[in-house]
Chains A and B, each alone.
Chain A
Amino acid sequence: MKIESLDECLRISEILELTAVNSAQFQDEVRSALGDSPSVIEINLSQTRFMDSSGLGALFALYRATGKHEGVVLRLLNPMPEIQQLLELTQMQLLFEIVRR
């Protein structure tokens, strides 16, 4: 996993899986990167091949963690079709912008 902070944008990428195995670690790493109070958090899911409900829970936790900061944009980028389906099934699109580009 890779986390970059550029201007006010936090970019998280190279996530191969987001599951019960690594969801806690994911939360810890992202939370520690929130110190700069980014206005955009962009999670690139283009390489994420598998995600389970723990992974979804980690995303929800992020929403919760940033929800205090008004106006922060949470963006999920280029999820694979199966992951996109999973996100929609659990209504994550209500909390995150799902963007393809």
Chain B
Amino acid sequence: MAASPLEQVRTATLRIAFEANFASARAASAAIRAFLAEHGVPDKELFPYELCIAEASNNAIQYSEGPSRDLKLVAEALITPVQVELRVTDHTAGFVLKERIPQPSPLADRGRGLFLIQTAMDEVRYIRGAKENILVMRKKRRAIPAAAAIPGQGPADALTLEKCSRQLAESRSQMTKMAEELLLRSETLSSVFRCCAELGRIDTASEGFKGRLFADLLHLTSADWYVLRLISADGTKLLVTATSEPDLSSKPIALPAAGGVPTSIEAVVAVSQKAARFDVRECSDRSEPLRSVGPEGAGLVCPLCFGGERVGTIAVGRRNGDFPLGRLQDDVIGTFAEFLAIQTLNLRRQKEEMRNRVVARELEIAQDIQQLLVPRSLPQLAGFGLAGGWKSAREVGGDFYDAIATGEKSLLLMIADVMGKGVPAALFATEMRGLLRGLAARSSDPAELLCGLNRLLYKDLSSVAMFITAQIVHVDMEGRHLTVASAGHCPPLFVPPGSRSVSMLSIQGLPLGVRPDTVYPRHTARLGTPAALLLHTDGLTEARSPSGVPYGQRRLMAWLKAHTIPGRNATEMRDRLATELNRFRGDSAMADDQAFLLLVEEAAGAAGPASTSETRTRLRRTASPFFANS
């Protein structure tokens, strides 16, 4: 058989043997008192125990007879967490302990001792033996009163049934309140989590997630309406963004400038960033927008802000005025408001990021296109150097140039400026380059080529009100002969034969895309020695110094004259011109795109008949966007 569980209780015991006289008995009762106090019996409860030991001992002494007077008496105390047991061992003849000793008359001489013991203790037994008897006195200990554990508090009153019931009812009510609060808070969190989960699934711009969130808000706060207002992008107004019913929507509320005083409740909350309760019945302002919730409407307006950033306000309440008040209610609405603020800010950031990504991608595309606008390499003829440069004022420029070898000793040079910037301009530029290369296979006459280009591009250009100024130059190296046609482009600069000065060929001609049937005249000129030819866009001559002075035709011609020196190569000259233009502009912003083509005779007489047989058209990588794009 298995042993049943043992009931074990730790006890403390004191046993005192003492002489049979009153003084010793008194000392013993005092010692028992001290012992009980030491073991946690409260001061106020010690007196009865001390009294019981004293009474029992005194009786034992009084009734001792003969030799038993010499025997020591024993007083014992045994304390457990739930009970105090006292014992007094005597050597008397003993007596019969009545079940209940009646209260003695105040006029009685004796008989008070046992009555007091029975009154003070819960249980009293008298065990009679052959040589000794033991009076056993037991008393249950009180439930450990709070006052005993908490120093500085008064004595705990006896717990009456009434008090217990009251405390129980209070505890139950508190528990119910706590459970309700817990439930409300957990439902708020659930709602927020649900909303977060939905954010990942649905289009956040749709009303879906907001509708669900507000339905939860109304449910949890026992409200029957809400008005969400967000601060406008310029920060001057509170705009209605969502309402529970259409009739709650109202005009934008103006937010005061710094230092101004807001008038409506929502504006006050948005500015102060502090929640406010309101009751239409207490509102005297006839223009208050929240009056739309009805003459008895009441509720709470919470600011939507996060990390110091103001987003808007949310007003929640009931139309019949009995909106519950309290910290918990405010907390729940506050949680929703904070969540809405975070979501709104996140949405804005996402949109901004998206916009930035689109812009960045557009720039990437534009830069790729820009690379296509100028040829990666330019044809070179023996003894002549050709170099081109361009720099855009924006990410994508409308200026471009091209060079096509038409024979071993001849070239077609083209420079153009699409009036209009950005990607559309670049698209026309690439289209025009493609067309020119196609047309150049059949003709190398600049006038014919411009007519052809105008015919082909007119429809597209005119439909978007754009046009292109362009210039095409055919260079015959052998005869140092130039054939030029221009479509409204700025004149080419060159050094004519036998001259030390620079000339320009001013040629009339409408830009491409202005009229469908424009006829372009052809002009000719001859190159001197050493030969120098500069085709450019108006971005060079119209470049401004920091004080606003244009670079101008004259300055450009002077530069070309100063730098047309025998033996100088095209790349070096291009770099010097680029440096010159940058120097002139200084730190002022670039107003327009710049592009130019330089044809330079690198070795005088190199294109003469003796060397013709050795002359070969070859490709060199000399064209590049050598201006740093800033």
Residues of A within 8 A of B (CB): 17, 19-21, 50, 52-54, 56-57, 60, 81-82, 86, 89-92, 94-95
Contacts and interface: CB of A to CB of B under 8 A. Distances in A.
A20 B112 contact: no
Contacts of A56: 112
Contact of B26 (A21, A57, A94): A21
Nearest to A54: B58
Interface stretch (B90-98, B101-109, B175-183): B101-109
A60 B58 contact: no
Contact of B51 (A81, A86, A92): A86
Contact of B119 (A17, A89, A95): A89
Chain B CB count within 10 A is highest, among A53, A56, A57, for: A53
A57 B109 contact: yes
16 contacts: A17-B26, A19-B22, A20-B26, A21-B26, A50-B30, A50-B47, A50-B54, A53-B113, A53-B116, A60-B107, A82-B47, A90-B103, A90-B106, A90-B115, A91-B105, A91-B106
Contacts, number: 58
Contacts of A94: 106
Contacts of B106: 60, 90-92, 94-95
A53 B22 contact: no
Contacts of B109: 57, 60
B417 interface: no
Contacts of A57: 109-110, 112
Contacts of A19: 22, 26, 54
Contacts of A53: 55, 58, 112-113, 116
A25 to B, nearest CB: 11
B116 A90 contact: yes
Task: Label chain B's interface by main secondary structure.
Answer: helix
Nearest to B104: A90
B429 interface: no
Nearest to A82: B47
A56 B58 CA distance: 14
B26 A90 contact: no
Interface of B: 22-23, 25-26, 30, 44, 47, 50-51, 54-55, 58, 61, 103-107, 109-110, 112-113, 115-116, 119
A65 B44 CA distance: 34
B22 to A, nearest CB: 4
A50 to B, nearest CB: 7
A89 B58 contact: no
Contacts of B103: 89-91
Nearest to A19: B26
Contacts of B23: 21
A20 B115 CA distance: 17
Nearest to B46: A82
Q: Which of A20, A50, A86, A90 has the most CB of B within 10 A?
A: A20
Given A20-B22, A90-B116, A91-B103, A52 B110 contact: no
A82 B58 CA distance: 20
The 9 tightest CB contacts between A and B, nearest first, are A82-B47, A53-B112, A91-B106, A20-B22, A53-B113, A52-B54, A20-B58, A21-B22, A21-B26
A52 B110 CA distance: 12
Given A52-B54, A57-B110, 18 more contacts: A19-B22, A19-B54, A20-B25, A20-B61, A50-B51, A52-B58, A53-B116, A56-B112, A60-B106, A60-B107, A82-B44, A86-B116, A89-B103, A89-B119, A90-B103, A91-B105, A91-B106, A94-B106
Contacts of B115: 90
A20 B26 CA distance: 8
A90 B112 contact: yes
A27 B616 CA distance: 153
A53 B56 CA distance: 11
Nearest to B26: A21
Nearest to A87: B106
Contacts of A54: 22, 58
